[in-house]
Amino acid sequence: MNTTADLLRELDNTDRRTRALIEDLDDAQLAVPYEPGINPPIWELGHAAFFSEYFLLRELGNPDPRMPGHDEIWDSFQIQHRNRWQAGIVPDKQTTLDYYGRVMDEVRERLRAREPEPREHYLCRYAVCHQNLHIESMIWCRQTLGYSRPSFALEPPAAGGEVASEDVSVPGGRYPIGMPAGSADFATTDFSFDNERPGFDAEVAPFEISKTLVSNGEFLAFVEDSGYESVAAWSYQGRDWLRDENAKHPLYWRRDQGGEWQVRCFDEWIELPLSAPALHLSYWEAEAFCNWAGRRLPTEIEWEAAARGQEGRRYPWGDTMDADRVDMDGGRLGRGAVDGLANGASPAGCLQMLGTAWEWTSDQFLPYDGFAVDMYPFMSTLQFGDHKTTRGGSCATSSCVIRNTYRQAYLPGRRDAFTGFRTCVR
């Protein structure tokens, strides 16, 4: 999104995908029951519009609200999470769509009227990226609720047999980590979020990491070896989570009447595809698998070193995004084999380091030395300390947002998002 044409194109794509996630849901589906891990789709839509209005349109032009009296409803830091479900507080579908459409049209008009100044370009890019973060959460909302997969999803690939796991070696040395401190400057096209800055060089010891994400077939071996009942595999906090969740297997797995494993993918129960990645796993499940397998999770610096190489690539394959090399944008939805998409390999030979699954690392989510908050002060700060760092994006992440340096954070017990992992040799 370095040019105005890029911004307009991505704004149109973002608008199309956002509407597609709302418009095919009827009133009963939009009246979703309270779930702590999701937001109601209508609130998501209004919040996305409010963010663009507040941080872009009001900041640069008319400060008057486009929907008077609703700032406290659409602002995620004014309305309590549970209140987003309250009848009579959030407007109806058509009212919210009208508000959303007015905001999107006003942003387009600004961009088409003249070449934006660097600050305006930056704020518009930030707003588009923010909206794409909510596209991902709207996709996993549909998975949580058992709704149909997004209309823009591709036909799922045929299930394959189990994939043999192998390791690749990452040489020791100095590796660039994060984005330059100046990548938040309005005059630069090197966009990033505050938690990626300021970048630094890290000395990394040589290590070996799995070429692929842990597959369903590999995780099934842990399940069938009584992994969820093995006290030795679980840490103290992991056992607390296991007891609270009463988990016996991954969230969306079940046995059919014949005793065969199935997994729910949106509104479909399908035969467990052994070659596909194990998804919707908590940090504690990933940690327990590693303990059972005699492996470990990578640190986030190791993960970035394996993804970027010592030359510091922006993406595993180079410095230009190529969405055909990744499972992103709600297309394949994590149904492909873990050894697929070989043309997206990293310098070390790791596959699918971007897209497919957010990958748990062993690190707490903490700021880099010299951290400074962004224009949006809550982008990262609320997650520091008690969240775990995940890397790489998922099948539901938008390719216009991601890069090797991008950092995401989830509470370690969460497993509704598209989270998975790969392992390292101890």
Q: Supply the pLDDT for residue 183.
A: 65
Q: Supply the pLDDT for residue 343.
A: 98
Q: Supply the pLDDT for residue 156.
A: 85
- Domain 153-426: give its CATH code: 3.90.1580.10
Q: 104 phi and psi, to 5 degrees?
A: -60, -40
Is 223 in contact with 249 (CB distance < 8 Å)? yes
The number of angstroms, rounded, from the C-alpha of 146 to the middle of its chain's C-alpha atoms is: 19
For the stretch 201-227, what's the b/e string if a residue is b when 16 or more beta carbons lie within 10 angstroms of its beta carbon?
Answer: ebebeebbbbbbbbbbbbbbebbeeeb
Which amino acid appears at position 147 of this protein? Answer: Y
| Angle of CA points 358, 359, 362, to nearest 5° | 135
Which amino acid appears at position 275 of this protein? Answer: S
* Secondary structure (DSSP) of 214-250: PBHHHHHHHHHTTGGG-GGGS-HHHHHHHHHHT-SS-
pTM over 0.75: yes
Q: Supply the pLDDT for residue 189.
A: 59
Preceding peptide of 156 cis, ω within 30°: no
- Domain 4-145: give its CATH code: 1.20.120
Task: Give the residue among 53, 58, 52, 27 at the shortest CA–CA distance from 42.
Answer: 27
Is 78 in contact with 26 (CB distance < 8 Å)? no
Where the chain has pLDDT below 50, the residues are: none
Q: Supply the pLDDT for residue 185.
A: 60
How far apart, in Å, do the first and last CA atoms of the chain sit? 40
- Would the CA dihedral through 395, 396, 401, 407 be positive or negative? negative
Q: Supply the pLDDT for residue 353.
A: 98
Orientation angle between helical segments 236-245 and 283-293, nearest 10 degrees: 120
Task: Give the residue among 63, 40, 65 at the shortest CA–CA distance from 50.
Answer: 65
Is 293 in contact with 284 (CB distance < 8 Å)? no
Sketch the domain layout of the chain as residue ranges: 4-145, 153-426
Is 383 in contact with 411 (CB distance < 8 Å)? no
Is 415 in contact with 389 (CB distance < 8 Å)? no
Q: Supply the pLDDT for residue 86.
A: 86
Cα separation, 251 vs 249, whole angstroms: 6
Cα separation, 306 vs 303, whole angstroms: 5
The number of angstroms, rounded, from the C-alpha of 123 to the middle of its chain's C-alpha atoms is: 21
